């Protein structure tokens, strides 16, 4: 039985005195309400947006039967995703357009709406209808708005290179690009048709996006033997419900690690028959969920892994080594010890997840001393700096609350760690690597060794930044600095 199309709803109007930002947000709310939204993009970020931010993408999704907007902050080397209820998401989009982005592009099944900021600092809302054949399946090369384009609710058509009613960013070339996933700010009809077809593929019969209700793709598959041996899956390769959070954590870690390896000197070894093995030290490996996954991923990436999981509990090491022997996995072993006692001459990858307090500093120093190309740490229990800290006068009202001071101690600790790793020759990031729903210990410090050292002037700037932070908060003892002072690393 063919589903009937929903009846068209009368389009509401924004307040007469609404500015372009409010009118753009009104259009977004309308598109979400009638299920016509295909894609939303915010581009041309400016301060206070992060320097690495490229753009923000958004699309409707359904989570547990409730409509949300999935927002993806696309950085140069990572994506940050948040799923927000529609009202909250729309309010955030308008706020970001007012404060951090100079271009908004809203694409629906029938309209192309752009909020633009020109070189003279003026804002304008430009909108046009998409010709029916541009949104139809199989359309190709149709202009965004041709002779059939008409004026919209804003009371005007916008002349441009694509015909009356076309939406054109004045900073973009006046030619229609070929269909591509990486669209410029002023898309032509081919790209619009591509997006319309792409959005239609995810739709339910009532026209609303399903997105997150469908099966999610992960880097790992559930049929891997080590997952069953570790109790993540059952004998039929089905995920055990109580391990769902662990499963998400394992996959996200593998995803982050794979991206980091691709940017590191280790990438040159992939597929090279006589390349040396990739030496991995995983401190605090526990039962080895991530350790096994790292070993598997390196093999899949064409590298020769030599992975050592270091775990304090000897009985657990014996148990996991028994699983390794049963599965016949070469290049994977567990050893009893901890980050302070385990002896290793060299390492290419150093992993330390949830090392408590200054044990994280020991692991970071060990990684640098071992010449690691990649250091991955998830800090835990930031206790060392908190007793030393005093609030700068300006921040005293903010930090008089204990919870704020604890959060500030955590940020300060990991910032000083990142600055020290930068001075030691690494490009360093601190970020949330998985949702707090999966684990509350979700912060990651990721360091990738640079091929060239920083200039002396830049090293001096990093040192000055660290010194200023410590002086501002009264820090006189920082574990990672003490380790480098006691055992300098060239």
Distance CA 435, CA 326 (A): 34
- How high is the pLDDT of residue 434? 66
Using CA of residue 392, residue 393, residue 395, residue 397, what is the dihedral sign?
positive
> Can you identify the CATH homologous superfamily of domain 225-486?
Vaccinia Virus protein VP39 (3.40.50.150)
Please tell me the distance from the alpha carbon of residue 363 to that of residue 474, in angstroms, as a whole number. 25
Secondary structure class of 206 (helix, strand, coil): coil
**Residue-level pLDDT at 13:** 66
The DSSP code sequence of 253-297 is: HHHHHHHHHHTSGGGGGTT-TTPPPEEEEEET-TT-HHHHHHHHH
Q: Please tell me the predicted confidence (pLDDT) of residue 169.
A: 35
Q: Which of 118, 126, 96 is nearest to 170 (CA)?
A: 118
Per-residue pLDDT at 10: 52
Element (H, E) at 458: helix 456-473
Specify the pLDDT at position 8: 46
The radius of gyration computed from the CA coordinates of the chain, to the nearest angstrom, equals: 26
Residue among 105, 96, 90 nearest 73 (CA): 96
Residues 129/149, Cβ–Cβ less than 8 Å: yes
Give CA–CA dist 85/185, Å, rounded. 26
CA distance 133 to 119: 34
Distance CA 475, CA 386 (A): 9
Predicted confidence at residue 184, as pLDDT, reads: 32
pTM over 0.95: no
Other C-beta atoms within 10 Å of 464: how many?
A: 11
Distance CA 138, CA 305 (A): 46
Smallest CA-to-CA distance from 357 within 405, 409, 408 is with: 409
Q: What is the pLDDT of residue 68?
A: 86
DSSP 212: G
SS3 448: strand
Give the DSSP letter of residue 387: G
List of E strands, 166-324: 278-283, 305-311
Return the pLDDT at 216.
Answer: 60
Angle at CA of residue 320, ends 262 and 312, nearest 5° = 85
What is the mean pLDDT of each successive set of 10 residues along the chain, which is 490 residues long? 48 70 91 88 90 88 81 82 89 92 90 87 85 44 34 35 34 32 34 37 40 63 93 89 89 92 91 92 92 95 94 92 94 90 81 87 92 92 90 90 90 95 94 65 87 93 96 94 87
Q: Which residues pair with 57 in a beta bridge?
A: 41, 72
Within 153-244, strands assigned E span: none
CA angle 94, 97, 103 (to 5 degrees): 130
- Phi and psi, residue 398, nearest 5°: -75, -40
Q: In what order do the strands lie in the sheet with 374-380?
A: 332-336, 305-311, 278-283, 349-356, 374-380, 443-449, 426-432
pLDDT at 439: 54
Return the H-helix or E-strand segment holding 426.
strand 426-432
Q: Where are the domains of the chain?
A: 20-213, 225-486
In this prediction, residue 436 carries a pLDDT of 59
């Amino acid at each position: 039985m063919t589903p009937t199309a929903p009846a068209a709803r009368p389009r509401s109007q924004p307040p007469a005195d609404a500015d372009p930002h409010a009118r753009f947000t009104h259009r977004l709310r309308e598109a979400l309400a009638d299920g016509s939204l295909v894609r939303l993009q915010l581009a041309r970020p400016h301060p206070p947006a992060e320097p690495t931010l490229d753009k923000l993408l958004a699309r409707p999704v359904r989570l547990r039967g409730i409509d949300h907007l999935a927002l993806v902050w696309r950085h140069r080397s990572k994506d940050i995703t948040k799923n927000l209820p529609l009202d909250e998401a729309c309010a955030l989009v308008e706020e970001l357009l007012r404060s951090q982005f100079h271009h908004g592009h809203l694409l629906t099944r029938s309209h192309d709406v752009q909020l633009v900021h020109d070189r003279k600092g003026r804002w304008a809302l430009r909108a046009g209808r998409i010709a029916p054949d541009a949104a139809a399946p199989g359309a190709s090369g149709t202009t965004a708005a041709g002779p059939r384009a008409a004026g919209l609710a804003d009371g005007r058509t916008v002349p441009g290179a694509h015909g009356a009613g076309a939406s054109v960013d004045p900073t973009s070339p006046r030619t229609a690009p070929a269909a591509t996933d990486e669209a410029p700010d002023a898309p032509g009809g081919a790209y619009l048709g591509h997006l319309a077809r792409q959005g239609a593929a995810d739709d339910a019969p009532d026209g609303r996006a399903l997105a997150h209700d469908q099966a999610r793709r992960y880097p790992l598959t559930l049929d891997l033997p080590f997952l069953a041996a570790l109790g993540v899956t059952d004998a039929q390769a089905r995920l055990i419900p109580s391990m769902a959070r662990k499963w998400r954590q394992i996959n996200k870690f593998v995803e982050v690690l794979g991206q980091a390896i691709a940017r590191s000197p280790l990438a040159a070894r992939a597929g090279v028959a006589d390349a040396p093995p990739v030496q991995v030290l995983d401190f605090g490996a526990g039962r080895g969920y991530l350790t096994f996954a790292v070993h598997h991923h390196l093999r899949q990436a064409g590298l020769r892994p030599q992975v050592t999981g270091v775990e304090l509990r000897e009985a657990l090491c014996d148990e996991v080594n028994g699983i390794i022997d049963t599965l016949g996995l070469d290049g994977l072993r567990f050893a009893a010890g901890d980050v302070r006692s385990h002896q290793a001459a060299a390492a290419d990858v150093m992993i330390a997840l949830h090392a408590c307090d200054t044990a994280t500093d020991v692991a970071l120093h060990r990684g640098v001393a071992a010449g690691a190309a990649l250091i991955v740490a998830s800090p835990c229990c930031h206790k060392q700096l908190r007793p030393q800290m005093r609030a700068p006068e300006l921040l005293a009202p903010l930090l008089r609350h204990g919870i704020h001071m604890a959060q500030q101690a955590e940020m300060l600790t990991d910032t000083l760690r990142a600055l020290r790793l930068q001075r030691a020759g690494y490009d360093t990031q601190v970020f949330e690597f998985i949702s707090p729903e999966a684990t509350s210990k979700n912060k990651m410090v990721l360091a990738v060794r640079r091929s060239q050292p920083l200039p002396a002037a830049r090293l001096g700037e990093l040192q000055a930044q660290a010194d200023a932070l410590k002086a501002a908060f009264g820090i006189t003892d920082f574990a990672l600095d003490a380790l480098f002072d006691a055992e300098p690393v060239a």
